[in-house]
Amino acid sequence: MSTTENLRTELLSRTPPFGLRLWVVLGISIWAAILFVLGCICFLLIYWRKQTNRNHDEIAEPEIPDVTKEIAVDEVGSRAFVENFCAQESHTFPVKERHTEKDSGKMLAHSTTSESSGDHKFIECISVQKYDRTQELYSGDEGSSAYDKREFSQSAAMSMSPRTGLPEFSHLGLGHGFTLRDLEHATNGFSNEYIIGEGGYGVVYHGHLVNGTDVAIKKLFNNMGQAEKEFRVEVEAIGNVRHKNLVRLLGYCVEGTHRMLVYEYISNGNLDQWLHGSIRQQGVLTWEARIKITLGIAKALAYLHEGIEPKVIHRDIKSSNILIDEEFNGKLSDFGLSKLLGAGKSHITTRVMGTFGYVAPEYVNTGLLNEKSDVYSFGVLLLEAVTGKDPVNYSRPANEVHMVEWLKLMVGSRRAEEVVDPEMETKPTKQALKRSLLVALKCVDPVADRRPTMGQAVHMLEAEDVPSREDRRRSRVAQIDGGDT
């Protein structure tokens, strides 16, 4: 018998105890060995992964909650910015000195101011850390990122409480974290008597913290997660910026489904109330007050567009979103509709939002949004401050319904002096009026590319009055007459 036949006979022979043939037993043994090796490999891999995760958890830092998502903000050096402006400077628009604190006494023409409890809107400028006072933009106004490189004590920030004072920053990077109980106590259980504003986004309450600080508390509606969305939008837009003309965020509350933002309380109303509302009965804003307010808003927008990255497009510039403090500084508010425009992007496409009369025409027609959309809205705001008229009012004569078109007709027919708010007792000089109208009309140019940047608008608004040709001629005649005598 050959070797092959012997091997075949052995493989076909039965083995105890189950009577299985030898080749079946060998097959089962081989597969069992393979499975055993694979099992050992899997066990070693799982054990190694667990050990790696355990070591990572021991050294990982606590993560910031999702609702506190922040944007990266980079400062633009003030020197480079000023040099850019100086390159564009001409003899027609030399730089004018800033308004001083003493000017605040001239803000009302024939009345005294008092605190207003009307409908206020309070914005979402989150001030989280101390910043370098030497970095200033736009003629000395404060504008900075929250990412200051100074070292701070986190333990000090975490231990601070609204019962001992309001902190400048917190370990979460969003101001002070208030509890729901803190804010309920501040508003007497969110009593209706404390409501100072209401809209589609939620309700704003006037709160009194236990340390005596007055605050504005924005309680967002939780309509199918809308509160969460609103919270994220406002935090992402200006979560790490600070500017003199942006209302300051003191803190926030995130408990369960509640989303609330706490801001400084501005008691002097908003521009809409001063121009068209109940506060107008208390007095009429002077020309100096109107220019100071609108210039401050221009500087805030210039900072948002040109001083940080990514850019912040406000998307809802209007008089009711311009709060006014006791010294008549304008403060930009309500960033609920804002969008971010990253580096290298000329525009973004989005659903058209805003207020009728203030929205740029190209944005309405195409949905393309960039900083020039805010420039247009600012131009309308400036014209509103000059004329005292609403952007759109169907109760006016047909040729005056749309303020911008009416003003263009008036300027074109050399009747610019007639557009000034008639309620103002002291009218502006011809040069001051001409400068403001020129800036505003440039901003509302129907072609977006022809509009100035907000930085350029600031530069033009701060320009000194240049004597007209007629004034120079009269001056020369007077000098000649004086010499003859």
The catalytic site residues sit at 316
CA distance 70 to 84: 29
Q: Exposure pattern of 322-334 as b/e (b: 16+ CB <10 Å)? A: bbbbeebbbbbbb
Angle at alpha carbon of residue 209, lines to 205 and 212, rounded to 5°: 120
CA distance 420 to 404: 13
DSSP one-letter code for 107: S
Residue with tokens 């608004």: 461
Residue 302's CB is within 10 A of a number of other CB atoms, namely: 27
What's the number of CA atoms in the CB half-sphere (13 Å) around residue 102? Answer: 1
CA distance 290 to 296: 10
CA distance 341 to 233: 13
Give Cα separations from 466 to 95, 96, 418, 440 (angstroms).
11, 11, 21, 18
Of 289, 297, 270, 296, the residue nearest 196 (C-alpha): 270
C-beta separation of 338 from 373 below 8 A: no
Residue with tokens 């309920």: 184
CA distance 244 to 298: 12
Of 282, 290, 299, 481, the residue nearest 382 (C-alpha): 290
CA distance 333 to 261: 13
Tokens of 480: 């000649």
Of 481, 388, 459, the residue nearest 428 (C-alpha): 388
C-beta separation of 169 from 242 below 8 A: no
Q: Which residues, at least 6 apart from 302, have a Cβ–Cβ distance to it below 8 Å?
A: 137, 138, 453, 454, 455, 457, 458
Tokens of 156: 């000090």
Q: Long-range contact list for 10-13, CB < 8 A, 24+ apart?
A: none
Tokens of 234: 């406002």
